[in-house]
Structure 1
Amino acid sequence: MNVKQDNLPSERFTDDQINAVIRNAIENGARRYIQGCESRVDDFVRWHYSFQGSLGIHAHAVGWDVIRVPINIIWSLVNIILAFVGMLAGLARLKKLRAWINQIPPGLETDMDRQISWLVVTELLQLPHEHGGKRSEHDALMEEIVKDPSLRLLLDKKLDAFVALSKQPDFEKRLKAKLGEYGATRTASADLAGNAVLLVTSKIATGQAAFGTLGAGTAASAALAHSIAASNFWLGSAIGSYYYALVPVAVSLRLLIAVTALIAVVLALISTFIGILTDPLQAKLGIHQRRLRKLIAAVKDDLLGAESNFELREKYIGRLFDLIDVLTTVGRKM
């Protein structure tokens, strides 16, 4: 609805006209704002997901993130189960159960997640944000809204109404949830890359491809037990190697746990920092750009009052490796 100005002072607008002016200003300003965000995606990816930019982001992972990242990787397995239960709850119309599941966080927030959120909110979305003693007051959305000429006639006397209508309820909460989803996808991508490295190295080292920590730990502990048994064989290690090629060596539970735990620690370190290499590759392939544009589209839906659904299904791909790893390991034991 467009309101004719006719050079009338704001007092001569009716309440309906005032609300229409404010809503039009918000909707038109939000659309211009979203266009501005979309125009910044390529530059944002070029600045922060190049090798040098990714190196700067991953510098924030030095510290407690080395503990948080493996916990998030393990927790993501639980998230798959919760997502499946949530889907069943939706089909069964158990709204309270589904709402409760949706409120469960995707994992621990890492220092690297906080840095990425700071960059996304302050540079890409250009919204006010506070983090770690830093605060940005720049509000590109408000700047676009107040450009509306009809709104300028109302600002002096109707500012309170304008502020109430321009701030969407729970917008900040929904934005934080979307940033959490974006961070969970980055964790899954790093985990997937780490599993790919493990798959190749396990094949080279043990001759047996492992899709995850359990498979790699089983294969490595078996190879180590074989090596120890052969070296201690009473007729010498050469004959021992042939002997134990025919006679399986029993792997102790202690050795299996120790080797698997060591591989898990190494894999966690790789997954934490492998983004330094994979971020530039994903930027080159346009993966980062696609995710950020999905995020902006979801923010647009929130601003315009439409139903938004921001779920990046890439986060489940890494979990497929873990499921395959468990099934493969169990299959070899049967």
Structure 2
Amino acid sequence: MHQPIENTAQAIQDKVDAFVRSHFNLAATFRLHRAALGWDLLRAPINVVLAPVFLLVGLAAAVSRLARFGRLEAWLRARQIFLKTSVARAIEADIANDLLEGAALTPHSRALITDYTGVRSAVAEITTSLFVLLAGLLLFGTATPGVTSLTPKVSEYVAHASAVAHFPLGSGLGSLWYGVFSVNLPIWFVVLTGVALAMTASLVTTFAGCIADPIQARLGIHRRRLMRLVERISMAEGQPSGLAPEHILARLADLTDAGISLLRFFRS
């Protein structure tokens, strides 16, 4: 009696496993990210700026749900905050055509697939935050969970190195001089450094999936997410998905970054 159901469940698991192996291995994810060599390089920094807006809209939708403002909640959840990247479109097409075998999809099912690609983008942001944190620890011996806290460190280092190199009496005496006296650090230089680092971080985020995807595939994370996705589509689930933990973690890194920067500012 239960054999057909068990066979169907096993077939779905096998299909998901095959999809993960063929689409999220190292070679496949490099091929996937070739789609990013274009307008995605412009969409990436814009999406980074829009990320806090996405979080606020998601929180507002959750509050509306608790307050039983159904229409407002539905309107908020229907807002498309992020610009859809070419990589996200490619993944959505692969899921629809390869994993779901071209099955007819309702608008709600397509929204669930979009949510999946959104979570994947949030993981790319988390990966970039880890890179920035590691850079701060290795280069400056301090925690820098984001660009905001890394900017002052990089600005000071670059300004000090430049001042020493251009010291009138030579770099040797310049190193001694600026070991005693601090380097003048104009605010415009700090801002310019921050902008440059933010642009670099957004580019890293665009291609972070090249590293994050194979790791998630190896750890079974992609498999679990895709199994949940297929299950929700097959059940024609009508409940809104809400904010995925990955989105909250990505924004938590930003909040931690801002908090550390403020703490260092008031201590200085």
TM range (shorter): 0.7 to 0.9
Deviation at 1:34, TM superposition (A): 7.1
1:149 maps to which residue? none
In the alignment, does 2:240 pair up with 1:317?
A: no
Count residues in correspondence: 262
1:225-253 CA distances to partner (integer Å, 9 max, x unpaired)? 22233444566544544554454434212
Preserved contact between residue 222 and residue 251 of structure 1 (Cα < 8 Å): yes
- Is the CA contact (8 Å cut-off) linking 1:31 and 1:300 kept in structure 2? no
Gaps of 5+ in 2: none
Query: 2:16 is paired with a residue of what secondary structure?
Result: helix
- TM-score normalized by structure 2? 0.87
Which digits, 9 at most, give the CA deviation of each residue in 1:23-66, with x for residues without a partner?
Answer: xxxxxx99997764443100000000011111121111111111
CA distance in 1, matches of 2:241, 2:11: 20
Q: Would you say the 8 A contact 2:146–2:253 is kept in 1?
A: yes
Structure 2 residue aligned with 1:48: 23
- For 1:187-198, list aligned pairs within 5 A: 187-198=121-132
Q: In 2 relative to 1, CA 81–289 (structure 1 residues): closer, same or farther, beyond 3 Å?
A: same
Q: Which residue of 1 aligns with 2:82?
A: 107
Asked if structure 2 preserves the Cα contact closer than 8 Å seen for 1:298 and 1:309, the reply is: no
Change (3 A) 1:242 1:30: farther
CA distance in 1, matches of 2:52, 2:227: 27
Q: Which residue of 2 aligns with 1:254?
A: 188
Correspondence for 1:177? 111
- Distance, in Å, in 1 between the alignment partners of 2:254 and 2:180 is 31
1:219 corresponding residue in structure 2: 153
Query: TM-score, with normalisation over the residues of structure 1?
Result: 0.71
Kept in 1: contact 2:55–2:247 (CA 8 A): no
CA distance in 1, matches of 2:79, 2:179: 49
User: 1:252/1:110 Cα in 2 relative to 1: closer, same or farther (>3 Å)?
Assistant: same
Equivalent AA in structure 2 for residue 126 of structure 1: E
Give, as a single letter, the amino acid of the residue that structure 1 aligns with 2:220.
G
- Compute the displacement of 1:91 (Å): 2.4
In 1, Cα distance between equivalents of 2:182 and 2:70 = 53
CA distance in 1, matches of 2:9, 2:20: 17
Question: Unpaired segments of 5 or more residues in structure 1?
Answer: 1-28, 129-138, 140-170
Distance change in 2, residues 1:33/1:126 (3 Å): farther
Contact 2:53-2:81 at 8 Å conserved across structures: no
Contact persistence 1:208–1:219 (CA under 8 A): no
**Residue of structure 1 in register with 2:139 after alignment:** 205
Change (3 A) 1:80 1:245: farther
**1:65, 1:110 within 8 Å by CA — same for their partners in 2?**
yes
Distance 1:295 1:208 in 2: 39
What amino acid is aligned across from residue 20 of structure 2 in structure 1?
Answer: V
DSSP-derived class of the 1:208 partner: coil
Quick check: which has more Rg, 1 or 2?
Answer: 1
Q: Which moved more, 1:239-248 or 1:183-192?
A: 239-248
Residue in structure 1 matching 2:33, options 55, 58, 75 = 58
Report how far residue 209 of structure 1 moved.
2.9
| Structure-to-structure mapping, 1:1-334, within 5 angstroms | 36-128=11-103, 172-233=106-167, 236-302=170-236, 306-311=237-242, 312-334=244-266
- Percent identity of paired positions between Structure 1 and Structure 2: 28
Cα drift, residue 221 of structure 1 = 0.8
| Superposition deviation, residue 120 in structure 1 | 0.3
Distance 1:37 1:74, change over 3 A: farther
Kept in 1: contact 2:24–2:213 (CA 8 A): yes
Instruction: Tell me how large the CA RMSD over aligned residues is.
Output: 2.5
Asked if the contact 1:86–1:98 (Cα under 8 Å) also holds between the matched residues in 2, the reply is yes
Distance in 1 separating the partners of 2:84 and 2:6: 31
1:106–1:296 Cα change, 3 Å: farther
Farther-moved stretch of structure 1 (272-281 vs 240-249): 240-249
Shift of residue 271 of structure 1? 1.4
Structure 2 residue matching 1:224: 3-state secondary structure: helix
The SS at the match of 1:210 is: coil
What is the CA deviation profile of residues 136-167 of structure 1, one whole-angstrom value per residue up to 9, with x for unaligned ones?
xxx6xxxxxxxxxxxxxxxxxxxxxxxxxxxx
Instruction: State how far apart, in whole Å, the 2-side matches of 1:30 and 1:69 are.
Output: 43
